[in-house]
Amino acid sequence: MKAADLSKVWAGPDNSRLTAKQQSFRLPTHVAAKINALCDLYPHRTKTEIVGDLLASALEEAVKHLPAALGEEWGRDSNSGEMLYHAAGRAAEFRRLANKHYKAIEKELGNKEAGELYSDALLVSKADVEEQS
């Protein structure tokens, strides 16, 4: 979810699932003030929904920029002909850890047959890896 889409999301229905356990943390005062302002602007949304959507948006952006390294060769891109590799490094490790935690959280919610959060292969090219440097 892109940050630019949040106001549209907040105008529609919420279909998200919540974790079984509550998570609590303190925020910087300027962040808390901005979240409270968004709660005032969208009174039909709970603070949990707003914070969850903001975190989802920020996480999506942060994950895009996790460094990747070239792993095992995958094959050529059918459009460009460029050689692609399975990603290694932080980007791949993030996906592995996110899948592990997702399955554990789903199990807590009673879903014993949870799939993976990231089931597709993360592929990178040499150019992708060089751009990160």
Strand ranges in the chain using DSSP code E only, listed in sequence order:
69-76, 83-88, 123-124
The tokens for 59 are: 């996480």
Reading the chain (133 residues) residue by residue, the pLDDT tens digits are: 566 667 776 666 665 778 888 888 899 999 999 999 999 999 999 999 999 999 999 999 999 999 999 999 999 999 999 999 999 999 999 999 999 999 999 999 999 898 999 999 999 999 999 988 7
**Rounded to whole angstroms, how far apart are CA atoms 15 and 17?**
7
Query: Which residues face 83 on adjacent strands?
Result: 76
DSSP one-letter code for 121? -
For the entire predicted model, the pTM comes to 0.78
pLDDT of 20 reads 86
| 31 C-beta neighbours (distance < 10 Å), count | 12
Strand ranges in 23-101 using DSSP code E only, listed in sequence order:
69-76, 83-88
pLDDT of 133 reads 74
pLDDT of 19 reads 83
Q: Are 92 and 34 in contact (CB under 8 A)?
A: no
